[in-house]
Structure 1
């Protein structure tokens, strides 16, 4: 449960660091909204996974859980490659898609502070890993509420503290590595579930 919570939220650390480097603040309330969305999507994924698990054998559930976590891990790792390509212009109508592709762009009004509205969009973008992590926990009968609480807690910590840390210490390289570590951890947690 702990590793799912950590791995699902290391992207938040990378985004927090990116905002700190840009001198963009993530106030307490918006950060709490982002964490709440991480908690909520983890719960939704957990309930769905738990419901599906009653229709399948335990081994099939383990295979699905592993597949979901490894797939998300590979996706997270591959996003670094795709984000290096020139970004296509996206209209204001596609702002959610834009933030999903690049969460660092959630400061839509360039106010150097994440508003409540921007935190909802950023929360959606950052919580997709939590949805997959919750699903994996639910389908393998881990405690959904505990897993979701851990996910929400690490979302709050990773986003807020890393933004403050990078603002003070300009930790650019750590931000670049956070996404890589997140992807690798998700793959390792998935593999560990199938061999344990």
Structure 2
């Protein structure tokens, strides 16, 4: 149980470190995230974790357990590498406008404020939540294939989403801590890779 708890907490943290970067960006620019907008984003992350965890659990009924565990670890590490290399890809794409909304928000969180009101509305919170739920999807899938409690993983991911986004927005407003936000993506990618490697051994 102790090891499962550590894995659940690690997945919750890795799934939401991008939220810290978004919160910092909003705080530095003075953008407001109300408690209910933050709650919507957290619920979407939790539901994404639950859905992908269920899919992972279904896969374990088809594949042998060791193969399913390797698949989950490979998915975590692949997404970790993708997240880790995001800053380099961003520099390579600089000047080009992404075609879809999710890509635009992931590159520039301020793009979620469609009406430029300096606050995140219900609709904007929903779109932002969907964009930020990408890491939660792979974390939930991994929890499903290694047969960790999916419900508790979803609760942990949602709670971490709410706390990290709210806390980092406050820190951004209070201290203009942009440097931390820039490092959040690298930290998230590294943690996802480490969780995957840990599962292989």
Q: Give the alignment partner of residue 96 of structure 2, picking from 67, 81, 88.
A: 88
CA–CA separation in structure 2 for the residues paired with 1:55 and 1:122: 34
Give structure 1 stretches of 5+ with no counterpart: none
The Cα shift of 1:161 comes to: 1.0
CA contact (8 A) 2:52 2:138 kept: yes
Q: CA deviation at 1:101?
A: 4.0
Counterpart check, 1:147 vs 2:168: no
Taking a change above 3 Å as real, the CA distance of residues 192 and 114 of structure 1, as seen in their structure-2 partners, is same
C-alpha separation in 2, matches of 1:90 and 1:79? 14
> Structure 1 length as normaliser, TM-score?
0.94
Report the equivalent of 1:52: 59
In 1, distance between residues paired with 2:165 and 2:19? 5
Deviations 1:71-108 (A, max 9, x none): 110111111112223232357xx434422443342111
Equivalent-residue separation in structure 1 for 2:74 and 2:110 (angstroms): 28
Q: Please list, as runs of the form range in 1=range in 2, the aligned pairs for 1:161-172 lying within 5 A after superposition.
A: 161-172=167-178
Q: TM-score w.r.t. structure 2 length?
A: 0.92
CA distance in 1, matches of 2:162, 2:17: 11
Poorly superposed stretches of 4+, deviation over 4 Å: none
Runs (5+) with no aligned partner, structure 2? 1-7
Q: Do the aligned partners of residues 34 and 56 (structure 1) sit closer, same or farther apart at CA in structure 2, a change above 3 Å counting?
A: same
Number of matched pairs: 193
1:71 aligns with 2:88: no
Q: Is the 8 A contact 2:25 2:109 kept in 1?
A: no
Cα RMSD, aligned residues only:
1.3
Deviation at 1:134, TM superposition (A): 0.3
